[in-house]
């Protein structure tokens, strides 16, 4: 059974077909890429998968379960987490607290327990602190746990957003242009981190990215999207060597 199966997903805005008949299948543990020019509909696909938009047509199956049209919160609880093209951190909170915000998906206590500081509150906080530090170590951010998120360098803010998404314990991790704005050294480090996350956490990852070196270096399969429709799909090497893709979408 595939981790993600999307069949004939479509949505229109004011008569414009933003995504039109989009289908894709991602196997468990796969690192899959979604590429295409600006305005092709890639982020719209992410928004459909995560409940930001409800599709006009189509079905989304996560690990065999129909999650089509569910709320963002419910989809996150079912096992999809994401990052954003424009970083969305709680910048007035510490690095540690940003990750703990993700952990609240699975570690929780009621309001009364928190107000009265009952034993369960301290037990849960201890567990979340420990788990958050473990996740931060994966991203080499554990030494900056008490630093405000807004004070991190740009590349580390990108890593923190991935760490927070990972804290929700997802089945599928969606990364929306994680290398945007990074220099070559930061991009290489990010590639290594994504590959480590995939293998260490047995994570299924769907990646939107314009950096073709990153895509070619880590993605096993690709879908190319244009004007909301699938142009081609297949093994990364085959797609990136397709003359139509090279000419129309990679600018070469």
Average pLDDT of 224-239?
A: 92
Are 153 and 101 in contact by the 8 Å Cβ rule? The answer is no
Is the entire prediction scored with pTM above 0.85? yes
pLDDT band (50, 70, 90) for residue 246: low
Average pLDDT of 179-191?
A: 89
pLDDT (0 to 100) of residue 252: 47
- pLDDT of 146 > 90? The answer is yes
What are the chain's domains? Answer: 1-79+172-252 (3.40.50.300), 90-169 (no CATH)
pLDDT band (50, 70, 90) for residue 242: confident
Residue 45 corresponds to which tokens in the numbers above? 């696909």
- pLDDT of 84 > 80? The answer is yes
pLDDT (0 to 100) of residue 214: 86
Distance CA 96, CA 81 (A): 18
What is the per-residue pLDDT across 5-47, written as a single tens digit (0 to 9) for each? 999 999 999 989 999 999 999 999 999 999 988 889 999 999 9
């Amino acid at each position: 059974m595939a981790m993600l199966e999307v069949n004939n997903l479509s949505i229109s805005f004011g008569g414009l077909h933003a995504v039109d008949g989009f289908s894709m299948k991602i196997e468990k543990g796969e690192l899959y890429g979604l590429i295409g020019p600006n305005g092709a509909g890639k982020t719209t696909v992410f928004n459909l998968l995560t409940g930001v938009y409800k599709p006009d047509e189509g079905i989304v199956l996560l690990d065999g379960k129909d999650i089509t049209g569910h709320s963002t919160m419910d989809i996150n609880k079912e096992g999809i987490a994401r990052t954003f093209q424009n970083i969305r951190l709680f910048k007035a909170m510490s690095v540690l607290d940003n990750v703990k915000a993700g952990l609240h998906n699975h570690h929780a206590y009621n309001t009364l327990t928190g107000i009265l500081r009952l034993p369960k509150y301290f037990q849960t906080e201890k567990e979340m602190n420990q788990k958050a530090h473990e996740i931060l170590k994966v991203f080499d951010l554990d030494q900056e746990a008490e630093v405000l998120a807004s004070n991190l360098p740009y590349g580390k803010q990108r890593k923190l957003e991935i760490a927070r998404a990972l804290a929700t314990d997802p089945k599928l991790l969606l990364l929306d242009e994680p290398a945007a704005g990074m220099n070559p050294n930061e991009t290489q480090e990010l590639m290594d981190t994504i590959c480590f996350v995939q293998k260490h956490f047995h994570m299924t990852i769907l990646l939107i990215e314009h950096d073709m070196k990153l895509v070619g270096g880590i993605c096993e399969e690709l879908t190319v999207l244009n004007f909301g429709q699938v142009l081609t799909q297949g093994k990364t090497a085959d797609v990136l060597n397709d003359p139509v893709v090279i000419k129309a979408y990679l600018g070469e």
